[in-house]
């Protein structure tokens, strides 16, 4: 039966199976597949009068449906078809001449700048001759490495649009990003660095954090992934921080807010008892701010609010996202985070009572700001207050069994996936800038943190008919992120080169990042914090025939090498450009690296010679970045990279993502040949996962997004969860991120994740 297709211009043409056969032969090239297999059920999606576009889409989805553990490459074939369809869409959107090659970068750049799609920075910073040379770096073959899920996400979230049409191709994006990242490098070496950065981005060796990937070439785009701020116990400070959150969220950043200084429910205001509503009403305003000021229209804002375990409102805080109780005390769009001192964990172990107090009373009566204390200083103040409360000398306090309070944390985690846990003393023990402040909490995905202090906000003053308000002394944590794709790395030499590029591009980004809040700009100058992370660890282990449960020693040495390469790269930058602003007095300036002196490395490191060289160079040149490594969850960006997310075991060897437009089958990249070496997280003891994480953690100067997973089909008991948390604390894990449970019906607790931190 003859079939007619409707072309894009409205004309009709007779359907030819031979064209499809040739197309499938081309897109299957290099894969061990029968290229004609998708045609076996051809009649199911053919109908007279369908458009060529509909035919192409139907073919793509038919190809995708063939994906299996035995033939996983069909998802890559579907990705190639998706990219070919993109070429056609972009050609039509940009009115390109028919049969022109897809890439003419110089012409595209002019088009993008003239139409306000790109900022003018590239054309201002580079000469026409340099841009012509850069155009020669483009390798269109890199477009065909994506599987369907990666190509689909690239189109949906990252490529630039004009009106409602995509007008940018993947290599346009990567080359533009490389040009912008290297814009301030010395002109003699700049183009070589542009080529180096482009190739590592396009070849999926390095994955940029979402703000960098999404916004770098767009006008006025925020480039930073992570922010943390804190509020004082005044109306002015609280609303100042709420405004900070709205500014950060407006430009696509995820933000952490520490609220521990704010007085508790029932505290005095201006001496009047029972006046304060506590922290929950303010958290609800933060919640509504996150919803109202969304992340550039992509999704609602993302805010984690942290509260110290000694705060009198902690029990209400733990119920923020549970379904039961007073709905006026809920904040379902907030991600709660508890700040846990060592003393609390010790009291849990010893089955002792825990004291909860009002920070305002402690501040006004004793001159102690508990939120600013950690370690021995906190323990001394707490023990004094414990005695005062025991003798009834405090007005607002509560004793509660520490173990029961931890059970409330665990119960909330199983029900809602939260709160996240940040071990405050561990965070600050390994803080290289403890000479300059305190870490009060973490970012949204718990992998990034540094010193934060609230701005002191003067009360409004009426002067010359104007309301004057000053904000002084504040620091807002800012961090830019990349992740190394371990799945695509085959040698130590390559890994070192990738680490060097990663450190350079993140440090460069600091200098042209427009931070949405002034205190963040000051933080960048003072600390130059960056976060080089990793993804695809499960794939690298599978390539080396190492099951995850037996990976601890391999992982230990791998991340020691990464630490060596990253730190070495930052020291080289310091030699060339100088140290971070607060270097003097830091651990780095004292010859302490990752919390340890040189003697420790000689006893405990597998590569002491390399560390001895680093200590010598550190003494000579200092270091450029105060904090260098942070491992984000990369749940979405790992799809583009075609690897498993982060450094955790795979969630599933084969899974199907279902959404409004259909289902997308997916599996790890090496599943065909390495099936038995991929181990699913749901079937692994979480204490084993914590052990592997602790091996990585000792080489990471900030943190890791450690997602815990409890499979309720494996007779998980409360004691197992308790032991995992205790093990994490004892092994110096700094933070615990999301808790996911696999229910007995096979469903799992859904995880909501910040787009900014997903990179």
Catalytic (active-site) positions: 443, 445, 447
For residues 388-422, one letter each, b for 16 or more C-beta atoms within 10 angstroms of the residue's C-beta and e for the rest, the string is: bbeeeebebbbeeebbebbebbbebbbbbbbbbbb
* Angle (deg, nearest 10), helices 552-577 and 608-621: 20
CA separation for the pair 485, 3 (Å, rounded)? 46
DSSP string across 552-596: HHHHHHHHHHHHHHHHHHHHHHHHHH---TT-TTSTGGGT-BTTB
Torsion sign across C-alpha atoms 561, 562, 565, 568: negative
Structure tokens at 499: 């680490």
Torsion sign across C-alpha atoms 312, 314, 320, 325: negative
Could you say which DSSP state residue 549 is in? G
CA separation for the pair 482, 225 (Å, rounded)? 10
Contact 502, 482 (CB under 8 A): yes
- Tell whether omega for the bond before 75 is within 30 degrees of 0, i.e. cis: no
Structure tokens at 539: 């794939």
CA separation for the pair 91, 100 (Å, rounded)? 9
- β partners of residue 746: none
Cβ neighbours of residue 619 closer than 8 Å, sequence gap 6 or more: 591
Instruction: Identify the three-state secondary structure at position 471.
Output: strand
Contact 709, 740 (CB under 8 A): yes
Structure tokens at 153: 């996400």
- At 206, phi and psi to the nearest 5? -125, 135
Cβ neighbours of residue 115 closer than 8 Å, sequence gap 6 or more: 162
699 vs 148, 510, 565, 598, 621, CA distance in Å? 35, 23, 11, 14, 21
* Angle (deg, nearest 10), helices 552-577 and 492-512: 50
**Pick from 448, 438, 421: nearest CA to 375:** 438
Count CB atoms within 10 A of the CB of residue 559.
21
CA separation for the pair 755, 759 (Å, rounded)? 7
Counting beta carbons within 10 angstroms of the beta carbon of residue 26, is it exposed (0 to 12), middle (13 to 18) or buried (19 or more)?
A: exposed
DSSP string across 200-268: HHHTTSEEE-HHHHHHTTSTT-----EEEEE--SSHHHHHHHHHHHHHHHHTT-EEEEE-TTSPPBT--
CA separation for the pair 720, 6 (Å, rounded)? 61
Structure tokens at 213: 């990937």
550 vs 483, 561, 721, 731, CA distance in Å? 24, 19, 22, 18
- At 480, phi and psi to the nearest 5? -100, 145
CA separation for the pair 483, 476 (Å, rounded)? 23
- β partners of residue 269: 272
């Amino acid at each position: 039966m003859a079939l007619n297709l409707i072309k894009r211009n409205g004309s009709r043409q007779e359907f030819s199976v031979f064209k499809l056969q040739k197309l499938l032969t081309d897109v299957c090239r290099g894969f061990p597949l029968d290229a004609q297999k998708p045609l076996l059920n051809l009649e199911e999606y053919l109908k007279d009068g369908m458009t060529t576009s509909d035919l192409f889409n139907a073919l793509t989805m038919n190809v995708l449906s063939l994906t299996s553990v035995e033939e996983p490459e069909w998802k890559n074939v579907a990705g190639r078809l998706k990219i070919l369809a993109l070429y056609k869409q972009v050609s039509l959107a940009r009115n390109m001449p028919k049969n022109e090659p897809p890439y003419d970068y110089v012409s595209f750049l002019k088009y993008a700048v003239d139409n306000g799609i790109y900022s003018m920075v590239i054309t201002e910073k580079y000469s026409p001759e340099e841009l012509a040379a850069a155009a020669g770096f483009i390798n269109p073959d890199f477009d065909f490495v994506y599987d369907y899920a990666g190509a689909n996400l690239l189109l949906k979230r990252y490529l630039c649009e004009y009106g409602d049409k995509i007008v940018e191709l993947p290599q346009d994006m990567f080359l533009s990003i490389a040009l912008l990242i290297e814009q301030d490098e010395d002109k003699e070496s700049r183009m070589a660095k542009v080529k180096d950065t482009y190739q590592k981005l396009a070849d999926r060796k390095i994955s940029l954090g979402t703000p960098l990937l999404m916004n770098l070439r767009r006008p006025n785009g925020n480039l930073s992934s992570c922010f943390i701020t804190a509020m004082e116990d005044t109306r002015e400070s609280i609303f100042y921080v709420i405004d900070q959150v709205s500014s950060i969220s407006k430009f696509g950043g995820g933000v952490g807010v520490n609220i521990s200084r704010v007085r508790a429910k029932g505290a005095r205001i201006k001496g009047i008892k029972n006046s304060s509503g506590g922290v929950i009403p303010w958290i609800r305003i933060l919640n509504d701010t996150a919803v109202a000021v969304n992340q550039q229209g992509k999704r609602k804002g993302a805010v984690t609010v942290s509260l110290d375990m000694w705060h009198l409102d902690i029990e209400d805080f733990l119920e923020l996202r549970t379904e039961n109780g007073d709905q006026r005390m809920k904040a379902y769009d907030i991600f709660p985070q508890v700040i846990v001192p060592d003393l609390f964990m010790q009291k849990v172990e010893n089955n002792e009572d825990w004291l909860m107090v009002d920070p305002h009373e402690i501040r006004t009566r004793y001159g102690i700001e508990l939120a600013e204390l950690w370690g021995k200083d906190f323990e001394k103040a707490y023990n004094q207050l414990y005695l005062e409360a025991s003798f009834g000398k405090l007005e607002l306090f509560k004793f509660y069994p520490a173990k029961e309070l931890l059970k409330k944390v665990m119960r909330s985690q199983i029900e809602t996936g939260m709160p996240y846990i940040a071990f405050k003393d561990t965070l600050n023990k390994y803080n290289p800038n403890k000479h300059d402040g305190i870490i009060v909490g973490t970012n949204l995905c718990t992998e990034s943190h540094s010193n934060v202090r609230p701005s002191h906000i003067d009360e409004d003053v009426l002067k010359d008919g104007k309301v004057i308000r000053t904000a002084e002394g504040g620091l807002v944590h800012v961090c830019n992120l990349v992740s190394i794709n371990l799945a695509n790395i085959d040698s130590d030499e390559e890994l070192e080169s990738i680490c060097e590029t990663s450190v350079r591009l993140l440090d460069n980004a600091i200098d042209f990042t427009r931070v949405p809040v002034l205190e963040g700009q000051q933080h960048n100058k003072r600390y130059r914090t960056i976060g080089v992370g990793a993804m695809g660890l499960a794939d690298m282990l599978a390539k080396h025939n190492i099951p995850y449960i037996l990976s601890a020693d391999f992982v230990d040495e791998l991340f020691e090498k990464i630490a060596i390469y990253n730190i070495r790269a930052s020291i080289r930058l310091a030699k060339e450009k100088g140290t971070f602003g607060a270097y003097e007095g830091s651990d780095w300036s004292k010859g302490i690296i990752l919390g340890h002196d040189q003697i420790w490395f000689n006893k405990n490191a597998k590569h002491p010679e390399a560390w001895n060289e680093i200590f010598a160079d550190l003494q000579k040149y200092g270091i450029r970045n105060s904090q260098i490594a942070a491992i984000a969850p990369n749940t979405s960006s790992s799809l583009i990279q075609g690897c498993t997310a982060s450094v955790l075991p795979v969630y599933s060897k084969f899974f199907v993502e279902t959404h409004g437009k259909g289902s997308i089958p997916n599996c790890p990249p090496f599943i065909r040949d390495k099936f038995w070496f991929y181990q699913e997280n749901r079937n692994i003891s979480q204490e084993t996962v914590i052990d592997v994480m602790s091996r990585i953690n000792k080489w990471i100067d900030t943190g890791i997004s450690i997602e815990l997973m409890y499979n309720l089909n494996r007779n998980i008991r409360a004691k197992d969860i308790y032991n995992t948390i205790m093990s994490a604390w004892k092994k110096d894990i700094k933070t615990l991120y999301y808790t996911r449970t696999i229910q007995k019906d096979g469903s799992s607790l859904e995880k909501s994740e910040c787009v900014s931190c997903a990179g």
